[in-house]
Amino acid sequence: MTDSTNSIRDDRHHTPRAVAETPTPDEEAFAAQLLERIMRDVPSDDDIAAVQRQLGRYPRGMVAVGRRCDVCGTPLVTVTRPLVDGKVPFPTTFYLCGTAAVRAASRLEAQGVMAQYTQLVHDDAKISAAYHRAHRLYLAFRHALAVRLGDTEEHIESVSAGGLPTRVKCLHALIGQSLVMGPGANPIGDMALERMKDEFSPSVCRCHADNADNADNAGSVVNANSTGEEQ
């Protein structure tokens, strides 16, 4: 095992780090348009109940559904406000909640792919540039959301999620961004979705898992999406 690999594996467990990058006007415009579209889809009581079953508790800070199952409309990713309950800074804006999606992402992480993806970000200039763009898109979207809701970003300024923009710490967060923002927004999230397509795809409905599956999943969703905060 090389020293660099050791460094990568150790780095996965650090708390999120602020990386100040300024989104371009095009990135800000993309984020603003996406936010406007998403916020028109106000979560229904059924949506909130579905996410509560997935998480095993009420989804604090949830303001919208970022992505739904293409078949049945069940929430796959929630959008969480930057300041939960008016006091808890929450950088994980795109929170993966779909049972099958969380399970598939957790299985990938257990296979050790995060270290491989981090090495790819370090070694491939094109992937690195795209990953930095994903960081800026994340910041732009969350800032637009904060402005819309009147939330402060004081304690999470320049912090995105999932290890962006220099490492891969949490596939769940990166996959969440890919599902909400679409192909091309996050290269690692896109790769992970491609790799787990036989187990999860937004275009194939696996949402009606039995109660036991949902109960098993609920305890893992917090840890899976965690960057030191809970939804």
**pLDDT surpassing 80 at residue 6:** no
Three-state SS for 144-183 is HHHHHHCCCCCCCCCCCCCCCCCCCCCHHHHHHHHHHHCC
**pLDDT surpassing 60 at residue 131:** yes
**CB of 64 closer than 8 Å to CB of 42:** yes
Between 16 and 43, where is the model more confident? 43
Cα-Cα-Cα-Cα dihedral sign, residues 29, 226, 198, 77: negative
Give the pLDDT confidence of 136-163 residue by residue, as tens digits.
999 999 999 999 999 999 999 999 999 9
**CB of 69 closer than 8 Å to CB of 135:** no
**pLDDT surpassing 60 at residue 65:** yes
Structure tokens at 99: 């049972």
Give the pLDDT confidence of 73-108 residue by residue, as tens digits.
999 999 999 999 989 999 999 999 999 999 999 999
**pLDDT surpassing 80 at residue 220:** no
Cβ atoms within 10 Å of 179's Cβ, excluding its own: 25
CA of residue 153 relative to chain centroid, distance: 18
